[in-house]
Structure 1
């Protein structure tokens, strides 16, 4: 048996030996090819050829303003925003520096500032401390069309803030010592400001564009000689003539509703009585052709301040939106024609701009820049070329689209804070515009046609009707501007001094 098993095993081994496994086939040689072409490296700068695309812009949400009128004629304006427990409380007055009597520029400004120099049972220091106890310091602003005083407070302090503001508006003390102190401070601040060439240019600009006796023909702070002559009786007379419930508005914005605002207004201002009406709309000034180039001499000044402008339009004018777009293309943003020429192309200036200011009455249109003194003539030539170019080189669709987008997207910036809402509400009141004015403005900017914008550009930006004011070295201006034949060079020297007031720094002083 063992032999049989052994024989079978031997046969199996023999069978395995007679059928060996085939050797693995060698791989076939690849076909003969030429040398491989290397792949060129990617250009690391290629992405610059395609600018990144902006994301979808957020939806524009404009605030809602609501209005109520109390029995005594007082207006209440409210814009509700509930995100934070904050309220802006203010009082807006319908009379501004446009109501300064002829020969007394700055009286409105001084009168309103006296409101914070003592009211009710508080003297100047006590009134300031009372506001400080609420964690605030009141802000006051005076413009041509009105004035506003107010403060941002926590919602729980809105009632207390209005109580103080009612003292300020209804019960100013007008103490003689406080008046003399305020007037001296006003003079010191004013004379210091008048050391600025730009401020001097603005003063001459307003009187040149509107005329010295026009309500808009002077700046709100006035001039030192006029302020020095003011008496306490002048201030009291302005207050009595122009401050009353029918010519004022309570502004409440933030964490408050219209019903709550009306109740607070009734509580603190409902008994206010004064026979005062809103002032008339300032008359429209003439727009004559330019005959003069006004020069404010500042010998040795390293730069020349240039201001060009004219009376333009009042708020609510049908051309308001098309003209806003036209002036934006001309000089209203960094990529405007004027700035790209004077700054980016020529290097004459750090920047140049233009804008239109629709007021209750006809407001100004202006173009402003400061250039190196040595290029005064060439820079003025370029400004005039850009004005003329609006007709010879009409505004393109690309320029119009950029202006339209920039203006509309900038709107939310005015409403970022409750104070911004308050200022916006005050502007509606000063200009006597409807509560949906901002919606109307956005719609007007969106729908203004290229033809309307071009017509406004040619009508209002006519270089022949732009008055020219230059602040700088008179000899250099004479040498460089006279050959341009833009008008007779006429020196204008505002009186910037007042008895007992500090003298402004000399040109070139640090």
Structure 2
């Protein structure tokens, strides 16, 4: 076959996105299990996902500290023994803390699950948070914080989150003294209340052979019971600060970190897909307006972007960058200018078409394997949405008009309500 390299490949629009859907079952102890059975390799990823406990401002670090220290030892296994047992079978174990949920993830070959699952069950039912390891954790976190506080972007991100989300999991701003509130007794109580089956969702993705699901369900149904106190995953109402401008001066700074934004809707709102299109035009990809203006034209920064944070109890749209300290004010002016243009001028069809193709291509490209499909499901499940969300998302990206985007810009992007954080020099 002869290929004509002067002829571009035929362009085809993306009509729809086909997502794998999981099988579901609920164990007698209340734990929900979702299975994505696909793939050729004898490998599975199993995630144990727990809703974070109610935020207590007097003990603000319990959720993150308990999750991080789950693998630091049980009454039967030390941290080193846990790591050795997992490594011996070529498996991989990690813990991840998120604002709404905490996750324990195991990657394991199918043939070794009979050996790796008991280790996980021990971790999830019998973690003891040894005093020595807790002292080490506190010391390490204090040292990491001390280093991070020298970075302007880190300080700006903290201040921005605190202003938008206040005394909640989303606005947590720990300092060195905050770590002194961690006590082993509190962590044990928190662990027993949070890490119980009625507060757990297990998501399995990979090649789920006959007998694998039965092994998992038997391991995490029998002998894993709920405690006397039910998990309290409710959260305080988000109350944003009354002050909208925050400046932390660093006289020797060569660059200033900028964070700007405001509370907006989250994924559950009908306008969210179209608002994502608007965000992409503004600063959501390399060819965005912010990049074209502030990086390419003005040369104020190496990178700038905007994004939308969607949490269970909140959402925000933000712009983030680091610019030369001598052009900080000018950069803010240009950011505001680009936002105002979205409110006063229609986006051209050429630009909108480019953004549409980018967004749909990114969505399609993100579905590279069964794990990716499971990740998309998590976005839906923990937001209380169904698969029709992605149908609406694709439809909104393909059909939203410049006029509607202009209306959304005027409805959601009120510069008078923006929170602005600058760390460095102005």
Taking structure 1 as the reference length, the TM-score comes to 0.75
User: Which residues of 2 match residues 142-161 of structure 1 at below 5 A?
Assistant: 142-161=97-116
User: Which residues of 2 match residues 9-408 of structure 1 at below 5 A?
Assistant: 52=8, 55-56=11-12, 60-95=17-52, 99-119=54-74, 121-211=76-166, 213-218=167-172, 222-256=174-208, 260-261=212-213, 264-274=216-226, 275-277=229-231, 279-280=233-234, 283-285=237-239, 292-408=244-360
1:230, 1:364 → 2: CA distance?
30
- Give the direction of change, closer, same or farther, for the CA distance of 1:324–1:179 in structure 2 (3 Å limit): same
- Give the direction of change, closer, same or farther, for the CA distance of 1:189–1:284 in structure 2 (3 Å limit): closer
What is the SS of the residue equivalent to 1:202?
Answer: helix
- Give the direction of change, closer, same or farther, for the CA distance of 1:425–1:174 in structure 2 (3 Å limit): farther
Asked whether the 8 Å contact 1:330–1:354 carries over to 2, the reply is yes
Per-residue deviation, 1:253: 0.5
Larger radius of gyration: 1
Task: Give the match for residue 3 of structure 2.
Answer: none
- Give the direction of change, closer, same or farther, for the CA distance of 1:286–1:110 in structure 2 (3 Å limit): closer
- Give the direction of change, closer, same or farther, for the CA distance of 1:158–1:191 in structure 2 (3 Å limit): farther
Which stretch shifts more, 122-131 or 193-202? 193-202
C-alpha distance after superposition, 1:243-301 (max 9, x if no partner): 2212111121111179853651233334322243462265354597xx54211222211
User: Which residues of 2 match residues 404-483 of structure 1 at below 5 A?
Assistant: 404-417=356-369, 419-434=371-386, 437-473=389-425, 477=426
Per-residue deviation, 1:377: 1.2
5+ residue gaps, structure 1, are 1-49, 478-510
User: Which residues of 2 match residues 465-504 of structure 1 at below 5 A?
Assistant: 465-473=417-425, 477=426
What is the SS of the residue equivalent to 1:317?
Answer: coil
Asked whether the 8 Å contact 1:78–1:253 carries over to 2, the reply is yes
1:270, 1:173 → 2: CA distance?
21
Which stretch shifts more, 102-111 or 363-372? 102-111
Taking structure 2 as the reference length, the TM-score comes to 0.89
1:443, 1:371 → 2: CA distance?
37
Between the two proteins, the alignment pairs up a number of residues equal to 418
Aligned residues: CA RMSD: 2.7
1:258, 1:467 → 2: CA distance?
54
What is the SS of the residue equivalent to 1:410?
Answer: helix
Asked whether the 8 Å contact 1:115–1:169 carries over to 2, the reply is yes
Per-residue deviation, 1:57: 6.5
2:210, 2:413 → 1: CA distance?
42
